[in-house]
Chains A and B, each alone.
Chain A
Amino acid sequence: DTAVSQTPKYLVTQMGNDKSIKCEQNLGHDTMYWYKQDSKKFLKIMFSYNNKELIINETVPNRFSPKSPDKAHLNLHINSLELGDSAVYFCASSPEGRRGEQFFGPGTRLTVL
């Protein structure tokens, strides 16, 4: 059983398009995250939601908008895609308040042409 799943795994699109990445976790965790990993493998947090409430919002262009329909899902919508958005995006989850380990999804490789 997949604990944290993301779709799609690969996403190739043209500059200027709008796209979404979906994430679901079946671990019963209260907190979910989006990370961006660049070509140098540097991993940086973008957003975090706790029980559908936004708790971390890093300096990310407002073209990126997270949406949490329920605590098991955290989707990432990106408007007006730019070349620099090309990266691997990871979703993760953790139990609330533990500041413990995080469980990562397999990643979505976004390529903007």
Chain B
Amino acid sequence: SQQGEEDPQALSIQEGENATMNCSYKTSINNLQWYRQNSGRGLVHLILIRSNEREKHSGRLRVTLDTSKKSSSLLITASRAADTASYFCATYQGGSEKLVFGKGTKLTVNP
């Protein structure tokens, strides 16, 4: 069953603008991860935030986690054309080793 749901499904912005993507999940988690997938490529891990963390930064990426609302957001600041990709959140379902992905947000950054 699907754990994460991202929104929006698609986002189109201009270079230099910020992009925000949201993810909601259903069960308890011990961490939440964000991945990027460029067209025709495999997924690349971006950032992992643990359930006891509220915010994490990595370069131009900022991730927040609200476990009370079972939601997370990914903010990409000062976007570049190279950020054009699909972005997925993923969580391990319950106590299992099974990583469950959301449907993804397709981000287009126009030069």
Interface residues of A (CB under 8 A from B): 4, 31, 33, 40-45, 48, 50, 55-56, 58, 90, 92, 99-107
Contact = CB atoms under 8 A, between A and B. Distances in A.
Contacts, number: 53
Interface residues of B, number: 25
Contacts of B44: 104
A102 B48 CA distance: 11
Given A43-B88, A104-B42, A106-B42, A31 B48 contact: no
Q: Closest 5 A-B residue pairs measured CB to CB?
A: A104-B42, A101-B45, A104-B43, A43-B101, A106-B42
B98 A45 contact: yes
B30 interface: yes
A103 B106 CA distance: 21
B100 interface: yes
A101 B106 CA distance: 21
A40 B92 CA distance: 22
A33 B44 CA distance: 15
Contacts of A43: 43, 88, 101
Contacts of A56: 96-98
